């Protein structure tokens, strides 16, 4: 069936096109255009015409790093995943990589296998992200220290095999013993490697990028900051055109002025992630993250043990609003939740775009950048 969404301001390919329309042919984008041509197309195909009433239409959002929502965590099985995905889908996230916190290798293998089973039947699930256990204890954040470990070949192979091709991303600290070898091994298996939860110097981070790492996990958080004599992994990532920097734009993890600095320093390479835990889309209160008690107050999640930030309660539409209020142009903000994260995990063109042939995923936003409607594979969600 052909569906035409017309009379919109199309935000794609880092520009805004007024009086635009997009035609879906079932689950894929058929054509885009401007003006009144949509009328002939809709009539010839006897399809559905939807008046966008001048709203913004963007590609569906792609979140490559999130842990849950709606009171549920992605670590907790298929039912919990369904609950959390529904929350983020309503906020425009049409495709997502499901992030898993540090656990034993046995538990992680079981969890990536569950995600692999779900991904085989639900194409909105792009696979899994292993945020641990190969992390620096000194920058563990909300991860259980006793489960952290250096990477080894057998553990890597087991996790990759359990995912059956669906482990999309892994975060690791490259300065750990075997860190660079692990980076190469994951990359050879088709997994995007992110430097994160790390004490790496700039040189150590650069060595990881040379070994194939292409991401920086939630930049500025759980890593050395920028110092004028010791620039650290953030500057190494900003200066390397091969690297995409994740950012949590909730106004808590990173100050808006620093977010603006990151976009200026790495244009076209910032991916706005949620890093959302179970409390996203749910009330304040007591939660757990990876078995660690967390209290959410005023939408900010912190570990009970030491007050460390424990994920976020962010949704991607809220991230877009924050960076636009901070002065970023809307096309660049939209790219940071669509084409940039899609490129970072190797699904560019198929997702994060409304060009012909791409998946018919779209988000309709009002003037305040709040979600009015979501389409996935051409069907309104």
185-242 pLDDT, tens digit per residue, is 999 999 999 999 999 999 999 999 999 999 999 999 999 999 999 999 999 999 999 9
Q: Do 46 and 68 belong together in one domain?
A: no
CA quadruple 6, 11, 12, 16: dihedral, nearest 10: 100
Q: Do 161 and 233 belong together in one domain?
A: yes
349 lies in some domain: no
- Predicted pLDDT of residue 187: 98
- Predicted pLDDT of residue 1: 81
Q: How many domains does the chain have?
A: 2
Q: Do 172 and 275 belong together in one domain?
A: yes
pLDDT confidence of 42, banded at 50, 70, 90?
confident
pLDDT confidence of 44, banded at 50, 70, 90?
confident
pLDDT in tens, 70-103: 999 999 999 999 999 999 999 999 999 999 999 9
Distance CA 292, CA 350 (A): 37
Q: Do 173 and 300 belong together in one domain?
A: yes
Q: Do 74 and 193 belong together in one domain?
A: yes
* List 12, 275, 317, 361, catalytic entry: 275
Q: Give the domain CATH number at 138.
A: 3.20.20.140
- Predicted pLDDT of residue 244: 98
Q: What is the mean pLDDT of residues 328-342?
A: 98
Distance CA 323, CA 256 (A): 7
350 lies in some domain: no
Contact 212, 187 (CB under 8 A): yes
Q: Do 145 and 190 belong together in one domain?
A: yes
276 lies in some domain: yes
CB atoms near residue 325 (< 10 Å): 12
* Domain of 264, in residue numbers: 61-344
97 lies in some domain: yes
Q: Do 12 and 137 belong together in one domain?
A: no
- Predicted pLDDT of residue 311: 93
| Cα of 119 vs its chain's centroid, Å | 16
- Predicted pLDDT of residue 40: 87
Whether residue 268 has pLDDT greater than 80? yes
Q: Give the domain CATH number at 374.
A: 2.30.40.10
Whether residue 46 has pLDDT greater than 80? no
Which is nearest to 91 in space by CA: 339, 302, 342, 337? 337
275 lies in some domain: yes
pLDDT in tens, 9-41: 999 999 999 999 999 999 999 999 999 989 988
Q: Do 89 and 177 belong together in one domain?
A: yes
Q: Is 275 a catalytic residue?
A: yes
- Mean pLDDT of the residues in the chain: 97
Contacts of 375 by beta carbon, 8 Å cutoff, 6+ apart? 3, 5, 24, 60, 94, 360, 361, 362, 363, 381
339 lies in some domain: yes
Distance CA 39, CA 335 (A): 29
Look at phi and psi of residue 109 and say left if phi exceeds 0, alpha if psi is from -120 to 50, else beta: alpha
Q: Do 46 and 105 belong together in one domain?
A: no
CB atoms near residue 81 (< 10 Å): 23
Token duo for residue 362: 């779209």
Which is nearest to 66 in space by CA: 110, 104, 115? 115
Q: Do 222 and 90 belong together in one domain?
A: yes
Q: What is the mean pLDDT of residues 98-118?
A: 98
Q: Do 260 and 311 belong together in one domain?
A: yes
Q: Do 156 and 290 belong together in one domain?
A: yes
Give me the percent of the chain exceeding a pLDDT of 70: 100
Distance CA 202, CA 175 (A): 11
């Amino acid at each position: 069936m052909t569906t035409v969404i017309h009379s919109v301001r199309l935000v794609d390919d880092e520009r805004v096109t007024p009086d635009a329309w997009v035609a879906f042919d079932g689950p894929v984008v058929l054509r885009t255009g401007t003006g009144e041509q949509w009328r002939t197309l809709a009539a010839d195909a006897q399809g559905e015409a939807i008046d966008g009433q001048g709203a913004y239409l963007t590609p569906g959002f792609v979140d490559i790093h999130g842990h849950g929502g709606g009171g549920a965590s992605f670590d907790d099985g298929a039912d919990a995943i369904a609950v959390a995905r529904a929350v983020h889908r309503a906020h425009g996230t049409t495709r997502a990589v499901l992030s898993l916190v540090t656990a034993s290798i046995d538990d992680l293998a079981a969890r990536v296998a569950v995600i692999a089973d779900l991904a085989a039947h639900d194409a909105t699930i792009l696979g899994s992200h292993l945020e641990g256990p190969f992390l620096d204890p000194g920058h563990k954040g909300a991860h259980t220290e006793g489960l952290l470990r250096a990477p080894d070949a057998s553990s890597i192979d087991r996790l990759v095999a359990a995912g059956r091709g669906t482990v999309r991303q892994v975060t690791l600290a490259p300065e750990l013993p075997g860190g660079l070898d692990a980076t190469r091994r994951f990359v050879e298996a088709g997994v995007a490697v992110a430097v994160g939860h790390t004490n790496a110097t700039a040189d150590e981070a650069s060595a990881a990028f040379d070994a194939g790492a292409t991401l920086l996990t939630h930049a500025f958080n759980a890593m050395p900051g920028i110092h004028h004599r010791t620039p650290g992994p953030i500057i190494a990532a900003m200066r390397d055109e091969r690297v995409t920097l994740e950012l949590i734009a909730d106004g808590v993890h990173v100050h808006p002025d620093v977010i603006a600095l990151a976009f200026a320093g790495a244009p076209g390479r910032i991916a706005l992630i949620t890093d959302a835990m179970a409390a996203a889309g749910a009330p304040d209160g007591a939660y757990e993250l990876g078995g660690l008690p967390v209290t959410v107050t005023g939408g900010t999640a912190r570990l009970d043990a030491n007050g460390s930030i424990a994920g976020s309660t962010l949704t991607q539409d809220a991230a877009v609003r924050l960076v636009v209020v901070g002065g970023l142009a809307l096309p660049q903000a939209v790219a940071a939740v669509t084409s940039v994260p899609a490129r970072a995990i190797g699904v560019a063109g198929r997702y994060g775009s409304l060009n012909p042939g791409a998946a018919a995923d779209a988000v309709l936003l009002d003037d305040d950048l709040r979600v009015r409607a979501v389409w996935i594979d051409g069907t309104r969600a």
